[in-house]
Amino acid sequence: MALYWLCGINTLFGATYTPPRRKSRTTLHSSPHHRTSRLTSRIRHASGRRRRQYNPWHMTSYGDSAVGDNPTGEDPAIRAAAIDALGKWYGAVAVVNPNNGRILTLVNQKLASEGAFTPCSTIKPITALAALKEGLITPDTTLQGERRLRAYGSTNINLAKALALSSNNFFSKVGEMLGFDRLAEYAREFGFGEKTGKDFPAESAGQLPSGPPAPKDGGVGMLAYDGLSIDVTPLQMAAMVSAIANGGTLYELQYPRTPQEIAQFQPKVRRQLYNLTPYMADVKAGMAASVLYGTGRFAYDPQNDIFGKTGTCSEDGARLGWFVSYSGQVIPKYAVVVFLRGGRMMYGPHAAEIAGKLYHDLRMRDQSTAQFVPALGVIAPQNR
């Protein structure tokens, strides 16, 4: 474990966004307890001399992620909370109303809309829904997980625990049962490979592979648990998790700017996923468990129902950390996606921690704005 925390050396300044080119890739588990055999810091020899070992991550983890954004039309309080939660870390934050597809704030707009990256373990909810719909598994199906799961009682786990603890073994087996064509079909249904809307002219559509990864790259199993060969934007992930939150409606994401556009805002439905609605509750149970005791537990708030999924992997000399999530058990209120890119500290549980701070601040804000106004006899309006 000590070797893991030595990994990566980052500079403190100069973070800039450049569209990635896939060159090399290392997959890491989305748990904060994963290990790597690469030593990436200075190692002291017996002679007392030090030499630098190979560092697989070549990007800084720090920067002002809001530089260059145009926040016109956003809720300034929500944006301020998102910027404060992200702090000095380099990444993007999207906050969306999952009931209509309106973007409430988008921090690091260029990275969030134009940069397409491996989804890492955030692909697992889609794999789960596909397998449930195809009748390959039930919520009670148990499969062999990793040895590390002994700490949680047994290595034989069901779907909820596999999502909570982000078991690669479980979802690799499920992916092999599904096969490439079916898995790609469900990913496409959730909007992968498509732009999320029309409000970002330079938005990337990401990519879906035309065929399964080669066996040497892990094949369909790795595609199912890590998203290998898939590229997605943070905006696409916001649309995806919003569809899970609201029970199966994939909205076009819209970014109204002027007071008139905001006043005339109308949701636009891209497609209805009613065939998946009966299985959403089973996936939501795993996402809730992730926040209660799993890899997303740093987002936990005892006064807020938060559902989420972490993701961690690396590509092009940078680590990627994802947390895709929403809040509100009965009526979802916010969908929040945190994406981090940089060095050793950029991993899923860290993204969950940032989201947890944001959710806390949003809850406190909502409690404040929902107070009764005696002089007017009305409740203060909420964000549409």
Q: Is residue 117 a contact partner of residue 341, using CB atoms and an 8 Å limit?
A: yes
Beta bridge partners of 372: 379
Q: Is residue 235 a contact partner of residue 242, using CB atoms and an 8 Å limit?
A: no
Domain residue extents for the chain: 20-36+54-379
Question: Any idea which residue has 């994939």 for tokens?
Answer: 250
* Top-confidence residue, 170 or 51: 170
Q: What is the mean pLDDT of residues 349-366?
A: 97
Q: What is the mean pLDDT of residues 143-153?
A: 93
pLDDT over threshold 60, residue 53: no
Return mean pLDDT, the chain. Answer: 87
Long-range CB contacts (within 8 A, 24+) of 180-188: 180/209, 180/211, 180/212, 180/220, 180/223, 182/130, 182/134, 183/126, 183/127, 183/130, 183/220, 183/223, 183/224, 184/208, 184/209, 185/130, 186/126, 186/127, 186/129, 186/130, 186/133, 187/123, 187/126, 187/230
CB atoms < 10 A from the CB of 380, how many?
12
pLDDT over threshold 90, residue 276: yes
User: In this structure, what token pair is assigned to residue 270?
Assistant: 């891209």
Q: Report the pLDDT value the prediction gives residue 51, as an integer from 0 to 100.
A: 56
Q: Is residue 164 a contact partner of residue 311, using CB atoms and an 8 Å limit?
A: no
Q: Report the pLDDT value the prediction gives residue 352, as an integer from 0 to 100.
A: 98
Q: What is the pTM of this model?
A: 0.85
Provide the residue type at 53 as one letter.
Q
Rounded distance between C-alpha atoms, residue 347 and residue 28, angstroms? 9
Dmax (CA) of the chain: 77
Rounded distance between C-alpha atoms, residue 77 and residue 318, angstroms? 31
Provide the pLDDT confidence category of residue 150 given band limits of 50, 70 and 90. Answer: very high
The residues, ordered by sequence, that sit 6+ positions from 302 with a Cβ below 8 Å of its Cβ are none
pLDDT over threshold 60, residue 48: no
pLDDT over threshold 50, residue 344: yes
**Nearest partner of 119 among 20, 31, 192, 22, judged by Cα:** 192
Predicted confidence (pLDDT) per residue in 280-321, tens digit: 999 999 999 999 999 999 999 999 999 999 999 999 999 999
Please give the CATH number for the structural domain made up of 20-36+54-379: 3.40.710.10
Predicted confidence (pLDDT) per residue in 167-211, tens digit: 999 999 999 999 999 999 999 999 999 999 999 999 999 999 999
Provide the residue type at 91 as one letter.
G
Q: What is the mean pLDDT of residues 57-67?
A: 92
Provide the pLDDT confidence category of residue 368 given band limits of 50, 70 and 90. Answer: confident
Rounded distance between C-alpha atoms, residue 377 and residue 373, angstroms? 6
pLDDT over threshold 50, residue 347: yes
Predicted confidence (pLDDT) per residue in 221-247, tens digit: 999 999 999 999 999 999 999 999 999
pLDDT over threshold 90, residue 112: yes
Q: Report the pLDDT value the prediction gives residue 370, as an integer from 0 to 100.
A: 73
Provide the pLDDT confidence category of residue 54 given band limits of 50, 70 and 90. Answer: low
Give the torsion sign (CA, 124, 127, 132, 138). Answer: negative
Q: Is residue 78 a contact partner of residue 362, using CB atoms and an 8 Å limit?
A: yes
Q: What percent of the chain has pLDDT over 90?
A: 78
